[in-house]
Amino acid sequence: YGVIDWDANETRTAALLKKVGLKEDPKTLITNIGVGKQQLVEIAKALSKEVKLLILDEPTASLSEKDSQALLDLLLEFKRQGMTSILISHKLNEVNRVADKVTVIRDGRTIETLPRKDISEDRIITSMVGRSLDDRYPPREPQIGDVIFEVRDWSVYHPIHPERQVIKNVSLNVRKGEVVGIAGLMGAGRTEFAMSLFGRSYGRHIAGEVSLHGKPLDLSSVSKAVENRIAYVTEDRKTYGLNLIDHIKHNVTLANLGGVSSRGVIDDMREMSVANDYRKKTNIRASSVYQLTGNLSGGNQQKVVLSKWLFADPEVLILDEPTRGIDVGAKYEIYTIIARLAAEGKAIIVISSEMPELLGITDRIYVMNEGRIVGEMAASEASQEKIMRAIVRGEGKKAS
């Protein structure tokens, strides 16, 4: 009669959680478990309806490698139980592992459907991009100069639990024209480190020194960070990087309104000219600069975020998961932009959970674990195994 049986509800919840491999108490708050487990709770919720078809849209986009593998194992188990799943993913290794057939969609149209025996990464990439990509990463001839950006003994405490130290005496540097990667598992503190650097937008009791060209930097606020030519491309473009209900033109100029203003008044024609210029530079595919950013694909949204910061003319760019949730063609374009910026002498930090990406586009890699730098190595000498060894054992070869 509309009355919830809470005991029965808890028993059923526990059974569903067990089915997806979770041992948490059903009364545990969602905010108190990691993103990987939150994703499994979403699947448990779907199973509560005794579904025959499960559709998963980029389910591993925010997950660590370990959590991703656990979720894929779960899909294979569902398959053995007779459940049908549709997996929407840009991660080709995942598609190869679990799919019985693959349908490639481009520009709103079905390009082809492949049976399992014909599935290969090269074939899928060609269908997705519309051409063959001989190299996954653009060629570079790094011209690396002197150290221009340096962080020394950087420490950060949790904003809500001030007794918990999140970043522990981190020191790193980036040279002119260098792309430096930061590798680590989810929860290693990479994003917290980046956000705390960018205007102290994360954490409290922040201590340490930051310098640009050997001179101390004031990064006490986001506006100070921008003023000192530091840019941060957030890992969550939809929430923090863009105004989705506004058009491209306003988003592109948002970080440097002074560049399109005269006496405090925005020059609309100048703003439109700048937006069109960056639309061409970053190859934003849109009907015009008046298209709403919320209606763009993930790759084009990311290009708008990059354009916003490029118009602010930074010397240091911190890119947090710059290719998360975008297709292989757009990834290549983002890599090309990063390579071009490095060639112009920018100092670039790339945080990525995709180790092949870090190995393919960076010059040097720092490894983080539990808020500490536990390794450093030249990208040319690095491998996924060496990075994982550094995470597990705290080992890492110093790059010269």
CA dist 68 and 324 (Å) reads 14
Q: What is the DSSP string of 8-54?
A: HHHHHHHHHHHHTT----TTS-GGGS-HHHHHHHHHHHHHTTT-SEE
Sequence-distant (6+) residues with CB within 8 A of 182 are: 190, 193, 349, 350, 351, 352, 365, 366, 367, 368
Structural contact between residues 60 and 68, judged by C-beta atoms closer than 8 angstroms: yes
pLDDT at residue 71 is higher than 90:
no
- What CATH code would you report for 6-99? 3.40.50.300
CA angle 326, 330, 336 (to 5 degrees): 130
Question: Quick one: which of 45, 56, 54 has its CA closest to 13?
Answer: 45
Sequence-distant (6+) residues with CB within 8 A of 105 are: 111
Say which residue, 171 or 263, is predicted with more confidence. 171
CA angle 254, 258, 264 (to 5 degrees): 110
Neighbours of 201 (CB within 10 A): 16
pLDDT tens digit sequence for 308-354: 999 999 999 999 999 988 888 889 999 999 999 999 999 999 999 88
- For the chain, what is the mean pLDDT? 90
Alpha helices in the chain (DSSP H): 6-19, 35-47, 65-80, 92-98, 121-129, 190-197, 222-227, 248-253, 268-281, 298-311, 328-343, 355-361, 384-393
Average pLDDT over residues 24-34: 83
CA dist 324 and 299 (Å) reads 9
Structural contact between residues 46 and 40, judged by C-beta atoms closer than 8 angstroms: no
147-393: CATH, from 3.40.50.300, 3.30.390.30, 3.40.50.2000, 3.40.50.2300? 3.40.50.300
pTM for this entry: 0.78
Sketch the domain layout of the chain as residue ranges.
6-99, 147-393
Say which residue, 36 or 190, is predicted with more confidence. 190
**For a pLDDT cut of 90, what percent of the chain falls above it?**
59
pLDDT at residue 68 is higher than 90:
no
Structural contact between residues 286 and 316, judged by C-beta atoms closer than 8 angstroms: no
- Using the structure block, give the residue that is written with the tokens 């996954």: 136
CATH topology agreement for domains 6-99 and 147-393: yes
Q: Check the CA dihedral 44-46-49-52 and report its sign.
A: negative
CA dist 232 and 206 (Å) reads 18
Lowest mean pLDDT across 10-14, 29-33, 270-274, 388-392: 29-33
Q: Helix and strand tally (H, E) in the chain?
A: 13, 16
The whole-number pLDDT of residue 61 equals 74
Token duo for residue 107: 């520009």
pLDDT at residue 1 is higher than 80:
no
